[in-house]
Amino acid sequence: MPTKPSKTFETFNNPRPQRDYLIHMEIPEFTCLCPRTGQPDFATLVLEYIPDKKCVELKSLKLYIWSYRNEGAFHEAVTNRILDDLAKAVKPRFMRLTSKFYVRGGIFTTVVAEHRKPGWKPSPQVELQQVEKQPHTD
């Protein structure tokens, strides 16, 4: 049976809900149509999120992204819609979607949208210093 695009997500339980950790995904084959000309727009989507209780299942994400292939959408609108749909399904602590659209009319467009769970605050980032190797002497 052939796989078909879908606007629904499957999720699974976060295996470490007690820990903040980052999930980073790159989706280099996003396509939709320009709502004015009907010509295809191509983008790489970068999804980063800190899950709470649920994680998004990858095949359902792929089929969701595929569902935009024949839809007209402005870059700003489609980025925010995808983020809203993902945040509604997964309910993450934090989620960021960066859409990097390829050149059209001599212009590259990047749209960044974020979602934060009310009351969630990130832990302070740990800065690690690189240790220089000392020359070995006998």
Residue 15 inside a domain? The answer is yes
**Active-site annotation, residues:** 34, 41
Spatial contact of 88 and 49, defined as CB atoms under 8 Å apart: no
* pLDDT tens-digit series, residues 7-39: 999 999 999 999 999 999 999 999 999 999 999
Handedness of CA 73, 77, 82, 88 (dihedral sign): negative
Residue 132 inside a domain? The answer is no
For position 107, which CATH number holds?
Answer: 3.30.1130.10
Q: How many domains does the chain have?
A: 1
Confidence class for position 133, pLDDT limits 50, 70, 90: confident
Q: What is the pTM of this model?
A: 0.88
Domain that holds residue 87: 11-116
Residue 75 inside a domain? The answer is yes
* pLDDT tens-digit series, residues 74-83: 999 999 999 9
Residue 1 inside a domain? The answer is no
